[in-house]
Amino acid sequence: MKDSLRTGITFGLTSAVITTLGLMVGLHSGTHSKIVILSGVLTIAIADAFSDALGIHVSEESENIHTTGQIWVATVATFLAKFLFALTFVVPVLLLPLTTAIFVSLLWGMSILALLSYVMAKSQGKAPWKVVSEHLLIALTVITITHLLGDWISTLE
């Protein structure tokens, strides 16, 4: 059960950071609308959390090595981690000017991803700087692409 819980939490947190930040940055550069960004984050928190949880559920089932209990622990942990962590990005958007909220969200998300990557690397006896760098680079790539996509979409009006 411990492995199933770890799978759900690490997957859910990683997905929450990358998906939510990518969405926020893309929508911000495309619309500069607080309402659109809040709607997007809430949609991610609900729809994508369910989607990721079902994805983990099916993936764990397809391996044919986990018990039903282990599969459900991973499923619920994925949903809760993604749902709850994605919701944390709502707070800065509600409380701060939008550009500041995006910056704070980027710092928050990248910090969580770096910390999660560091802890994971240490527990596996790997060089933390390599794991943290790899994961942050992937996240920054997604963020950059969605920013550029939002910029391009904003020119279509």
Largest CA distance in the chain: 52
Per-residue pLDDT of the chain (157 residues; tens, 9 = 90+): 788 999 999 999 999 999 999 999 999 999 999 999 999 999 999 999 999 999 999 999 999 999 999 999 999 999 999 999 999 999 999 999 999 999 999 999 999 999 999 999 999 999 999 999 999 999 999 999 999 999 999 999 7
Asked whether the beta carbons of 53 and 11 are under 8 A apart, the reply is no
Q: Where are the domains of the chain?
A: 2-154
Tokens of 137: 């680079």
* One-character DSSP codes across 55-96: HHHHHHHHHT-S-HHHHHHHHHHHHHHHHHHHHHTHHHHHHS
